[in-house]
Structure 1
Amino acid sequence: MIRSSLFSLACAALLFAAGPAFARGDRDHNHLRDAAAQGQVIPLNRLIAEVRSRPPYSDMTYLGGPQFDMRQMLYAFKFLDGSQVVVVYVDARTGRIVGRKP
């Protein structure tokens, strides 16, 4: 019971945090799509698959809803490790993991 409540709380927090990403509209999405078509960034589905295949992330649940920072060209992918949300930062140009919280 407690575990499902924690999971529900974590999901709600992630949805709330994703709000600003939706507020930017399609501008970033269109720019990102153009950059992927020109080979400037790695396509999102490929980045997600690569990160999900690497330990320790392969043992975690991917929560979806990636966020993108246009200025730094970084994706933030969210995973659930037990009851803790782990955010993994990935360079969209190289696919290299550049950080994580916690």
Structure 2
Amino acid sequence: MIRTLTFSLLSALLISTGTPGLARGDRDREQDNLREAAAQGQVIPLNKLIADVRSRAPYSEMTYLGGPQFDAGRMIYALKFMDGSQVVVVYVDARTGRIVGRKP
């Protein structure tokens, strides 16, 4: 009984520690695909997108927080800004640079 419980716990531990590596691998692959798309002109480079959004009102008055997130399926970046005490997330189309949404 104890041997079975120990084996089960050990198996669960090994399985759970392998998952972050897989997720990291997926992110690395996604970043590679994104870099390739930027090199081929299919998407606008991230630093250019950020600079473009930061140059527009009202975002020019806000502090950019960094840590952009990318939705590869929709080709949308989520950029975070601080407006006073409120975090504002701006959604930008990676292909066109167009702002497609904002929250709040």
Q: TM-score range by the shorter chain?
A: 0.7 to 0.9
What's the offset of the Cα at 1:22?
A: 6.0
Q: Which amino acid aligns with 2:42?
A: Q
The secondary structure found in structure 1 opposite 2:82 is: strand
Percent sequence identity over aligned pairs: 77
2:102 paired residue number? 100
CA-CA distance at 1:25 after TM superposition: 2.6
Q: What CA RMSD, in Å, does the superposition of the two structures yield over aligned residues?
A: 1.5
Residue type at the aligned position of 2:80: K
Inter-partner Cα distance in structure 2 for 1:50 and 1:84: 21
**Structure 1: 5+ residue runs without aligned partners?**
1-20
TM-score, normalised with respect to structure 2: 0.75
Q: Partner of 1:55 in structure 2?
A: 57
SS where residue 26 of structure 1 aligns?
Answer: helix
> Residue 46 of structure 1 aligns with which residue?
48
Q: How does 1:78-97 map to 2 (within 5 A)?
A: 78-97=80-99
CA displacement 1:10-52 (0-9 Å, x = unmatched): xxxxxxxxxxx96843111000000000000000000000000
**Aligned pair count?**
82
Q: Which residue matches 1:72?
A: 74
The verdict on how the C-alpha distance between 1:70 and 1:61 changes in structure 2, with shifts beyond 3 A counting, is: same
1:74, distance to aligned residue in structure 2 (A): 0.1
Greater RCO structure (CA 8 Å; 6+ sep): 1
> Which runs of 5 or more residues in structure 2 are unaligned?
1-22
